[in-house]
Amino acid sequence: AQSVTQLDSQVPVFEEAPVELRCNYSSSVSVYLFWYVQYPNQGLQLLLKYLSGSTLVKGINGFEAEFNKSQTSFHLRKPSVHISDTAEYFCAYSGGYQKVTFGTGTKLQVIP
Amino acid sequence: EAGVAQSPRYKIIEKRQSVAFWCNPISGHATLYWYQQILGQGPKLLIQFQNNGVVDDSQLPKDRFSAERLKGVDSTLKIQPAKLEDSAVYLCASSTSTGWVKTAGANVLTFGAGSRLTVL
């Protein structure tokens, strides 16, 4: 079965420092990968997606992610975080059909 | 465009009572999903509809949960009777996907704000 693993449940980081949130996926023929963000008391919203083409994907709010097929990873990065980035981040995977499977989430806590 | 609408936002019930959640997806989106998100966990797919047909309900506890999407537009998720472990946020999402993903971005999900259920 398709799956994603988010290795860190919580990541504290100081404001303006860089951050990387890790995600690994189970291999499949077709791979579509996503990062969603969930702010407190809100639904999930799409941050960025990898469907095909360039392995470096840029999303909203200055986030980017790199698709690494050999390592089956799709880590999320931001060079300088802000207080407003405090949220929970979910990696998601789709193997080509409609089903989208989510990871367990990583809580990013930005410290002033 | 209008987003995915869900109601109610919050619901508190006692165990063994029943509850229903409603979702209206983005207009024209063929596929509708119900996810259960328990505190501290990622969203878990309960049921997925394509138009008014069920695509996947393998993780739906069918002895107590039911869902329908009769006209292929809005959907209702019901729990009867509720258990303490059903306390969670129920997320509805929709997408334009209509089968094997041939169109880039077709399986991008748009979520509603969620319905938070507390079972006492």
Does residue B62 sit at the A interface (CB-CB below 8 Å)? Answer: no
Instruction: State the DSSP code for A112.
Output: -
Q: Give residue B15's pLDDT.
A: 96
**Stretch 49-88 of chain A: residues touching chain B, C-beta under 8 Å:** 49, 51-52
Q: Give residue A97's pLDDT.
A: 63
Note the pLDDT tens digit of each residue in B31-55. Answer: 899 999 998 889 999 999 988 889 8
Q: Give residue B99's pLDDT.
A: 58
- The CA distance from B117 to the nearest CA of chain A, in Å, is 13
Q: Which of A55-59, B93-97, B106-110 has the lowest mean pLDDT?
A: B106-110
Q: Which residue has the tokens 């989106």?
A: B29
Residues of A in contact with B55 (CB under 8 A): 98-99
Q: Give residue B41's pLDDT.
A: 87
Yes or no, beta carbons of B111 and A99 under 8 Å apart: no
Q: Which domain holds residue A73?
A: 4-111
CB A49 within 8 A of CB B108: yes
Task: Report the CATH number at residue A31.
Answer: 2.60.40.10
Q: Give residue B115's pLDDT.
A: 96
Q: Give residue B107's pLDDT.
A: 74
User: Taking 80 as the threshold, does the pLDDT of residue A29 lie above it?
Assistant: no
| Mean pLDDT of the region A48-65 | 90
Report the distance separating Cα B91 and Cα A26, nearest Å: 24
CB B92 within 8 A of CB B103: no
Q: Give residue B100's pLDDT.
A: 53
User: Taking 70 as the threshold, does the pLDDT of residue A98 lie above it?
Assistant: no
| Mean pLDDT of the region A25-31 | 75
Number of structural domains chain A divides into: 1
The structural domains of chain B, with segments of one domain joined by +, span: 5-97+108-119
CATH number (2.60.40.10, 3.30.2350.10, 3.40.50.300, 3.30.70.20) of B5-97+108-119 reads 2.60.40.10
User: Taking 70 as the threshold, does the pLDDT of residue B1 lie above it?
Assistant: no
Report the distance separating Cα A43 and Cα B43, nearest Å: 11
User: Taking 60 as the threshold, does the pLDDT of residue B103 lie above it?
Assistant: no
Q: Give residue A42's pLDDT.
A: 82
